[in-house]
């Protein structure tokens, strides 16, 4: 019995000394990193990276805008589409209670005028207007351009950061369920559908779906072990000693620094076909167009679809834009594969699809257009909106002819 007690005392002493040493190591590294972080310049935030874009040269509003952008980025849960922004009021960014960004429209027409054409616009962050003030988002510029042509419209910007085309189709469906019937819907897509497929090696699912796979049913009692593992990982990432170990492994070349890693995800019901991933991206997108067209027949609205330009489409590039392409070389290569598949799909040549690829619009632009690889500055938004004007006018003219002939 005495021998067992001696061994227990020795084990406890060793454990205590070990824990004490670990605490001392952690305190030492924490103090060292605190001093280092205090003396080092702060790392660039997402907003800071945006502000380096030469499209912002000489603009005095940029700092205030990105301060608002950071504060307005908080999202809330939204059924079926996962997320939408919380309400926010600022000088350059305003989001209402429904999570819809403000569209600056000309004053409403006086009573007795024809009912305005209701336009619902869908897309990811490029449509939402990342990098642009409220009055210079694509929907706001389009409203202004149409008003200058004497057209009465009411535009709602349903764009949201990160959305892929399927999320947008679901958002449209939810509006129709609520009785909100548009006359025209406009979709601007491409970058998010492409990046999500590259990121997860599966076409047709939202970005970062692996996070939701991991988090599904995490509150259930049988998920105690996965919850504990996630908690321990989170705690470990916060430890200064873990930070030091990671730095040491990176410096020694044993651990690669973080990059655009591909994270394959298995999703029930999605079975990769024989076609390439790029072709499946386009096939999924085409299916969404078919769904919207079918809804349009039933609910009697028109549709326009656009594939958004990226910095990879620009042949003349500023120094900043060229750096963005180099930084995202793997995404650029896959994006080009998707664009080839898009060209082969025949979408642009099939009139019934009302589809246009906007890549050529920026191809020869001799000015700074992008604020990162997929977001346009205010000049770029103006180029896109002006391209859309002719199509909207054609749709309105076609509707007027149909109404006049009794077709509707």
Residue 81 lies in a domain: yes
- Residue 300, in any domain of the structure: yes
Residues 69 and 134: their CA atoms lie apart, in Å, by: 11
Please check whether residues 109 and 170 belong to one and the same domain. Answer: yes
- List average pLDDT for each run of 10 residues in the chain, which is 408 residues long: 72 80 76 71 62 88 94 95 97 97 82 82 98 97 94 95 98 97 97 97 94 85 77 75 72 64 60 75 97 97 97 93 92 95 92 90 92 95 96 81 48
Q: Are residues 277 and 400 in the same domain?
A: yes
Scanning the structure block, which residue is given the tokens 């900043």? 320
Same domain, 309 and 339: yes
Residue 253 lies in a domain: no
Residues 186 and 270 in one domain: yes
**Are 30 and 164 found together in one domain?**
no
Residue 307 lies in a domain: yes
Same domain, 5 and 104: no
Look at residue 306 and tell me if it is in a domain.
yes
Q: How many domains does the chain have?
A: 2
- 94: phi then psi, degrees, rounded to nearest 5: -135, 130
Q: Is 356 helix (H, G, I), strand (E, B) or coil?
A: strand
Q: How confident is the model at residue 37, as a pLDDT?
A: 67
Tell me: do 379 and 395 sit in the same domain.
yes
Angle at 331 between CA 328 and CA 334, to 5 degrees: 150
213, part of any domain: no
How are beta strands 94-95 and 88-89 bridged, if at all? antiparallel
The answer to whether 132 and 160 have CB atoms below 8 angstroms apart is: no
Range of the domain at 7: 1-43
**Residues 44, 146: Cα–Cα separation, whole Å:** 39
**In angstroms, rounded to a whole number, what is the distance separating the alpha carbons of residues 382 and 99?**
24
Rg (CA), the chain: 26
Are 368 and 341 members of one domain? yes
Same-domain status, 63 and 187: yes
Q: Are residues 93 and 30 in the same domain?
A: no
According to the model, what pLDDT value does residue 158 have?
A: 98
Residues 272 and 126 in one domain: yes
Query: Is 33 in the same domain as 88?
Result: no
């Amino acid at each position: 019995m005495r021998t067992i007690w001696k061994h227990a005392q020795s084990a406890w002493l060793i454990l205590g000394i070990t824990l004490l040493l670990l605490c001392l190591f952690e305190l030492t590294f924490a103090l060292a990193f605190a001093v280092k972080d205090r003396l080092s310049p702060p790392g660039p935030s997402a907003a800071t990276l945006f502000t380096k874009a030469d499209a912002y040269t000489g603009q005095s509003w940029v700092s205030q805008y990105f301060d608002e952008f950071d504060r307005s980025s908080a999202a809330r849960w939204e059924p079926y589409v996962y997320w939408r922004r919380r309400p926010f009021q600022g000088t350059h960014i305003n989001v209402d209670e429904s999570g819809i960004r403000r569209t600056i429209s000309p004053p409403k027409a006086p009573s007795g005028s024809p009912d305005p054409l209701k336009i619902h616009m869908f897309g990811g962050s490029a449509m939402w207007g990342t990098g642009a003030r409220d009055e210079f988002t694509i929907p706001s510029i389009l409203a202004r351009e149409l008003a200058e042509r004497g057209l009465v419209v009411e535009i709602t910007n349903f764009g949201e950061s990160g959305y892929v085309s399927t999320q947008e189709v679901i958002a449209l469906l939810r509006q129709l369920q609520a009785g909100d019937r548009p006359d025209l819907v406009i979709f601007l897509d491409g970058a998010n559908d492409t990046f999500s497929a590259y990121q997860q090696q599966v076409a047709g699912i939202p970005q970062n779906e692996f996070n939701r796979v991991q988090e599904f049913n995490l509150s259930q009692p049988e998920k105690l072990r996965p919850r504990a593992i996630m908690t321990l990982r989170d705690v470990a990432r916060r430890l200064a000693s873990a930070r030091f170990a990671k730095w040491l492994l990176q410096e020694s070349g044993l651990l690669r620094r973080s990059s655009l890693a591909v994270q394959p995800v298995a999703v029930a019901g999605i079975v990769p076909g024989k076609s390439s991933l790029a072709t499946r991206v386009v096939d999924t997108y085409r299916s969404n167009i078919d769904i919207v067209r079918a809804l349009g027949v039933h609910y009697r609205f028109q549709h326009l679809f656009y594939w958004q330009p990226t910095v990879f489409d620009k042949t003349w590039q500023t120094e900043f834009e060229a750096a963005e392409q180099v930084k995202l070389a793997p995404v650029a290569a896959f994006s080009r594969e998707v664009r080839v598949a898009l060209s082969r799909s025949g979408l642009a040549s099939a009139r019934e699809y009302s589809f246009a690829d906007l890549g050529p619009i920026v191809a020869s632009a001799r000015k700074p257009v992008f604020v990162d690889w997929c977001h346009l500055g205010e000049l770029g938004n103006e180029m896109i909106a002006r391209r859309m004007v002719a199509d909207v006018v054609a749709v309105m003219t076609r509707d007027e002819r149909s109404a006049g002939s009794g077709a509707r």
